[in-house]
Amino acid sequence: MKIIVGLGNFGDDYAYTFHNMGFLAVECLADRLSVKISKKQCDALVGETNVDGEKVVIAQPLTYMNLSGNAVKKLLDYYKATPKDLLVIYDDIDLEKASTRKRAKGSSGTHNGMRHIIATIKTEEFARLRIGVGRPPMGMPLADFVLSTIPKADRPAFVEAFEKTADDAELFIKGKLF
């Protein structure tokens, strides 16, 4: 059992914002695995498949970013999974735009969605993939920046980041990432 959760905010207003890196990355993974993320369950949109005999759940929380832990906890409980079965994909302002980083565990850093997940499931012991969005321009509030639309000129680099993240997620599913 593997649960892959991409963090973001649902709705058309947020679809192509920096804060939706997780949603966009799991959509890339779902496309590869021919999975529709469409079933409403556990405060999330969910798609299910099997990869080499391993059940895989791909989810996008419907709780908004700062309450992501509610959906993650419900998913873990519903599927009788443990945090070691969990991979969370999200944006990171502390990484260069379109760069990626993987960690087997760790703190939330500056990310409120991750902070809520850790507080709700009561552990930092779960895998995560981060996609860098960089820092806001001078004088721009952080919330305005992460909720701003990804400039068209930056999109090709982010598509590459989503592909790399999907590669790493597939390795996680197969037990070959950490």
62 assigned to some structural domain: yes
Q: Which of 2, 19, 116, 128 is catalytic?
A: 19
134 assigned to some structural domain: yes
pLDDT mean by block of 10 residues, the chain; 178 residues: 96 93 98 98 98 96 95 98 98 97 93 96 98 96 95 97 98 95
Q: What is the predicted pLDDT for the residue at 146?
A: 95
List the one residue out of 15, 52, 7, 8 whose CA is nearest residue 33: 52
167 assigned to some structural domain: yes
144 assigned to some structural domain: yes
178 assigned to some structural domain: no
In whole angstroms, give the CA distance from residue 135 to residue 137: 7
Q: What is the predicted pLDDT for the residue at 157?
A: 98
19 assigned to some structural domain: yes
**Length of the chain, in residues:** 178
Query: Is the full-model pTM beyond 0.95?
Result: yes
Q: What is the predicted pLDDT for the residue at 109?
A: 87
Instruction: State which residues form the domain around 115.
Output: 2-173
Q: What is the predicted pLDDT for the residue at 110?
A: 84
Number of domains present in the structure of the chain: 1
19 labelled catalytic = yes
Query: What is the CATH number for 161?
Result: 3.40.50.1470
93 assigned to some structural domain: yes
